[in-house]
Structure 1
Amino acid sequence: MDASYIAKIVETTTVPVVFKKVCNWPLLSWSLEDWCQNMPQKELPFRVQPPKNSSEEPCWERKCSNRMMSLEKFFEIAQKNPAEWCYFDYKYLEMWLTSDNEVYKQILWDCFGYNERGAADSTIWIGSNGAHTPCHQDTYGRNIVVQAFGKKRWLMFPPDSGGLNPTRVPYEESSIYSKLNFFSPKNLDAFKRLSGCRMVVLEPGDALIVPPKWWHYVQHVDAIGISFNTWIPHAKTDTENQIDEALIRMLVAQIGKDLTEKDLKDIVNPNEEDVSDLPLTVSIFQVDVTVQKYLEFKSKEHEDISQCSKSDDISKTDIAIDTIKKSCHAITVEELNNNDLITILQDNVSKYGQSNFDEAVDEKIPKKDRLLSAIVDSFCHPDVIKIVKGKLLDELCK
């Protein structure tokens, strides 16, 4: 199958798709010993979280401790100590591997039709059973994920799903989190109102395509799991969303300037602690850059549309996506009914949280902290940003 056809699916699918026989990286058949030999011989930072915890809030990164350990030590702990999970997650390969490293050399995305993308555009995720990322939505790009070792469960919801209770606290550029705790919820009532969930358990060699803005909760379900991903830019939506993110970053930076260190940590992820140091002039410049990029894209898009005609070859190159899916072993991720979703969450609670929901202790969030989060969420609400962006573009285009 021509890789350009696979890229066609990546760029046009509106629902999650799994490829079963596309990726041909040799590391997909590696043993744990192979991974130890080919990964850097140094200690890596792992997030660590004792699993016995039921809560209304997700396991935010702030709630995890950090531990430095070698990959070999992690493998030993992951197989012998299920009482806690560890996660070396969201790490760009170029920050941790040299270009002559065997892993670095193998991570190529040409089999998906992206010859120009490699390890420098990729992240690695290494975790133990229970390790997870809170449910969230990426504001940019299409996500291609390859499972290299172990199994990982993905729960996904359409972009416009209701009931997920979105928040920008903790703030992280390009990530919108859900306030729901999919790992070990204290109460299941909020989940019973959800619909449209799609679920897949990725096995070694599987590749998952996550369309733009699909919500996803991702959890390791084997003792050890390793995966890689890359985000494929989506010009039309990304250029507009970059304005949103620049405006939100400016707002969070200004709100954070006079906060105490503790209060700032309450509203930002650890990787955003320097956001309050961002000068207002730099924030304005970043907004200007994103606006100009968007206006240039819209102008070019208008020219392209004007130049198109019914006689163009575009219609001739239209490909039957269903035919392509069959020929390259692509499977649409099926919907999960709500009862099955609840069963998965109940199983999570029995393994990682309180066995009795009534035993979970209510967490009292200080009124001041709730007010601060509410202020950030109110100013950064999509409806508010949409109005601000619209007014901004109107003014600049006069």
Structure 2
Amino acid sequence: MISCSDCPPIVLNKMIDHWKARKWSIEQLSSQITKKLSCKLCPKKNQNLFETQCPHENITLEEFFSWRQNDVDNNNPLRNYKPEEFSCYIDYKYMKDISPMEHMKAVDWGVFGFPDRDGRDSTIWIGTEGCYTNCHYDSYGFNLVAQIQGKKRWILYPPWESSYLYPTRIPYEESSVFSEVNVKNPDFERHPLFKKANPYIVTLDPGQVLYVPPQWWHYVESLEDSISINTWIDISEDSESRVSEAVTRCLVSLLLEARQQLNQVPTADDTWINPGEEILPLDANIQLLQFALTSSYHRDADKETNNQEKLCKALQNIPVRNKDTTLKGKRKWIGNTETENCKSTRMCVHDKGDNSDTVNFKEKLCSHDVDVQSSQGEDIPYIVMVERENKDEEKETSVKHQTTDLCRSSLETCSSHSTATLFEKLVKSVLHPKVIEATVKELNQ
């Protein structure tokens, strides 16, 4: 299945040219989206601050655009921030909550196999050059990200390199697991294992769509003022992830109470909870956990699995190109100079003509006859595989070993033995997603 974690990120080209949203600009939207929106402001000299460490303001898109044009009046909440010193990010906004109804049909995920998905199932991200999203992975589903305006750089890491990313749930945000590492400027004394990580890096241009496989780490930065629109697609494994997240939420509420008993009063830049995240009382969290467990036992596996196959079915006849190689004449696309690279990355798709449930989708694409010379001159969709920076690194195979490394990597970052430090070590170990996932799987068995 294309949404399995072994599948690499892929860039889908010329597949959203029919979207009305493709013509959007920040200037245009500033007169159409009139609601006040929360934005994150971060100093450009430090590109690794968490949301809890950044100031936030409520602004309109018109005020945002005026600020970018250096046309700020005394009523603009951004008047005290210089554009050359701060980035501004209006991130993670559900379109159905902020956009006019006519915007909903300006987004159409049907070409990717989801005809019922439009702006109502999408979030929009609007930011200035220099804004960023901290390195993290999403607990649920896979992600389709459409670039509308400006360029963004994505730095991605596969799930099997999680031990090198020093996962943490502080700050806590439901369904997001953050990395402690500053991937742009790493401190190898604090995070020595990060030297082993090999990123997949891609610059996403307007009109391109990035497929982010399940639980892949990603750090995202805007190279220009930009607009992105994305949608998350559920997968069958989400039922277990929801149980893990419900357990985590229960633990967070308990640990917050314990923190207060230790007289650790959170400061403005030391809070454990991301802005917009609400921690409910423990009894309410227990009810959510019971609901997640019940839903896990009674889930419709066939429907969820079908969701995973829809994208693959929609893409299986799209030609694949090597971004660095121009091929002439009609020949088989081999993806890379080494044929084994076509076999090393699995993108699976259900094939009714095959005896097995899945086939190696990338191998199928690699052996697909494509007239690259003629197609390059035509305005047709095509796929580009995102390749890792260092192809010599082998994938971790022992999940048990990986879980141990993950816990160790988080705990080794602190050297002090004060009560506060020991308590934070406890939090990082107890809340570690792989520990919780392993426990949930054991309970299910």
Tell me the residue number matched to 2:34: 41
State the SS of the aligned residue for 1:294.
helix
State the SS of the aligned residue for 2:215.
coil
Q: Work out whether 1:18 is the aligned partner of 2:11.
A: yes
- Aligned-residue RMSD, C-alpha: 3.4
Tell me the residue number matched to 1:355: none
Using the TM superposition, give the Cα deviation of residue 252 of structure 1 relative to its aligned residue in structure 2, in angstroms: 0.9
Using the TM superposition, give the Cα deviation of residue 144 of structure 1 relative to its aligned residue in structure 2, in angstroms: 0.2
Q: Deviations over 1:165-193 (max 9, x none)?
A: 11111111111100012355566874861
Instruction: Give distance in 1, aligned partners of 2:112 and 2:4.
Output: 11
Amino acid aligned to 1:208: L
Using the TM superposition, give the Cα deviation of residue 221 of structure 1 relative to its aligned residue in structure 2, in angstroms: 0.7
Using the TM superposition, give the Cα deviation of residue 10 of structure 1 relative to its aligned residue in structure 2, in angstroms: 6.0
Tell me the residue number matched to 2:426: 375
Tell me the residue number matched to 1:266: 271
Kept in 2: contact 1:198–1:335 (CA 8 A): yes
- Given the superposition, is the C-alpha separation of residues 324 and 193 from structure 1 closer, same or farther in structure 2, using an over 3 Å criterion? farther
Instruction: Give distance in 1, aligned partners of 2:254 and 2:211.
Output: 36
Q: Work out whether 1:336 is the aligned partner of 2:338.
A: no
Equivalenced residues, count: 343
State the SS of the aligned residue for 1:288.
helix
Kept in 2: contact 1:53–1:184 (CA 8 A): no
Amino acid aligned to 2:159: P
Instruction: Give distance in 2, aligned partners of 1:366 and 1:29.
Output: 56
Q: Deviations over 1:48-95 (max 9, x none)?
A: 1122237xxx31101111123332332343355221100000111122
* Aligned ranges 1:40-189 → 2 under 5 Å: 40-53=33-46, 58-78=48-68, 81-100=83-102, 103-161=103-161, 162-183=163-184, 185=186
Using the TM superposition, give the Cα deviation of residue 259 of structure 1 relative to its aligned residue in structure 2, in angstroms: 4.2
Kept in 2: contact 1:137–1:216 (CA 8 A): yes
Tell me the residue number matched to 1:315: 354
Tell me the residue number matched to 1:204: 206
TM-score (norm 1): 0.76
State the SS of the aligned residue for 2:244.
helix
User: Which blocks of at least 5 consecutive residues in structure 2 are unaligned?
Assistant: 71-82, 307-350, 373-379, 392-413
- Given the superposition, is the C-alpha separation of residues 106 and 393 from structure 1 closer, same or farther in structure 2, using an over 3 Å criterion? same
Tell me the residue number matched to 1:345: none
Q: Deviations over 1:332-378 (max 9, x none)?
A: 0121249xxxxxxxxxxxxxxxxxxxxxxxx9999555334322211
Tell me the residue number matched to 2:75: none
Using the TM superposition, give the Cα deviation of residue 116 of structure 1 relative to its aligned residue in structure 2, in angstroms: 1.4
Using the TM superposition, give the Cα deviation of residue 204 of structure 1 relative to its aligned residue in structure 2, in angstroms: 0.7
Instruction: Give distance in 1, aligned partners of 2:384 and 2:302.
Output: 35
- Given the superposition, is the C-alpha separation of residues 211 and 226 from structure 1 closer, same or farther in structure 2, using an over 3 Å criterion? same
- Given the superposition, is the C-alpha separation of residues 109 and 11 from structure 1 closer, same or farther in structure 2, using an over 3 Å criterion? farther
Q: Which has the larger share of helix?
A: 1
Kept in 2: contact 1:78–1:129 (CA 8 A): no
- Given the superposition, is the C-alpha separation of residues 324 and 115 from structure 1 closer, same or farther in structure 2, using an over 3 Å criterion? farther
State the SS of the aligned residue for 1:315.
coil
Q: Deviations over 1:279-318 (max 9, x none)?
A: 32x33332232223333349879xx9xxxxxxx9462897
- Given the superposition, is the C-alpha separation of residues 116 and 10 from structure 1 closer, same or farther in structure 2, using an over 3 Å criterion? farther
* Of 209-218 and 250-259, the range deviating more from structure 2: 250-259
Q: Work out whether 1:291 is the aligned partner of 2:281.
A: no
Kept in 2: contact 1:266–1:369 (CA 8 A): no
Instruction: Give distance in 2, aligned partners of 1:256 and 1:201.
Output: 39
Using the TM superposition, give the Cα deviation of residue 387 of structure 1 relative to its aligned residue in structure 2, in angstroms: 4.6
Instruction: Give distance in 2, aligned partners of 1:79 and 1:187.
Output: 39
Amino acid aligned to 2:205: E
Tell me the residue number matched to 2:411: none
State the SS of the aligned residue for 1:270.
coil
- Given the superposition, is the C-alpha separation of residues 387 and 333 from structure 1 closer, same or farther in structure 2, using an over 3 Å criterion? closer
Instruction: Give distance in 1, aligned partners of 2:20 and 2:152.
Output: 20
Instruction: Give distance in 2, aligned partners of 1:178 and 1:330.
Output: 29
Instruction: Give distance in 1, aligned partners of 2:369 and 2:437.
Output: 37
Amino acid aligned to 1:279: L
Q: Deviations over 1:249-295 (max 9, x none)?
A: 111122223544943962221222x31x3232x33332232223333
Instruction: Give distance in 1, aligned partners of 2:383 and 2:104.
Output: 26
